[in-house]
């Protein structure tokens, strides 16, 4: 959850939608924000395009920044996913805080640590228990009761 914000901070709104609202990223969108270099029309073009890209980028890859990055504000009014699924406000709050703190963190290592802690915190919520229970019972999630 931390790496995209550090690598492409200008695309923070896209990552907010992906992480907080479960929006799927389309290949064209990934190309527009710089996550993907090139799209090919069919599978036979994939390997030649990849080889060309690797050769062009050899020794030129920028590392992920070790400094704080400025990102757009994390959405605070999210209540449901793009699919209409009600989301857990507990988990959303944990994610929002972790994203903001990690972006402002003065080192990449510290930012990653914040992400790991957020994962651990979210795993201890009632929403996580509901997710596991729903999976085992083969039913749809219902976060309305969990918060």
Per-residue pLDDT tens over the stretch 4-43: 999 999 999 999 999 999 999 999 999 999 999 889 999 9
Domain that holds residue 63: 3-145
Distances (CA, A) of 5 to 18, 61, 68: 12, 17, 10
Total tally of structural domains belonging to the chain: 1
- Predicted confidence at residue 6, as pLDDT, reads 93
pTM of the full predicted structure? 0.83
CA 87 to chain centroid: 16
CA 114 to chain centroid: 14
Which residues are registered as beta bridge partners of 86?
Answer: 80
């Amino acid at each position: 959850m931390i790496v995209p914000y550090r690598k492409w901070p200008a695309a923070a709104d896209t990552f907010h939608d992906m992480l907080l609202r479960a929006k799927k990223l389309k290949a064209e969108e990934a190309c527009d924000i710089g996550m993907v270099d090139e799209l090919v029309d069919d599978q036979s073009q994939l390997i030649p395009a990849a080889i060309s890209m690797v050769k062009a980028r050899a020794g030129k890859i920028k590392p992920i920044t070790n400094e704080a990055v400025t990102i757009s504000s994390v959405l605070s009014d999210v209540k449901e996913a793009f699919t209409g699924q009600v989301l857990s406000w507990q988990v959303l709050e944990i994610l929002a805080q972790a994203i903001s703190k990690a972006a402002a963190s003065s080192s990449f290592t510290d930012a990653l640590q914040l992400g790991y802690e957020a994962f651990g915190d979210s795993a201890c919520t009632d929403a996580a228990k509901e997710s596991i229970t729903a999976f085992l019972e083969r039913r749809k999630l219902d976060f309305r009761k969990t918060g």
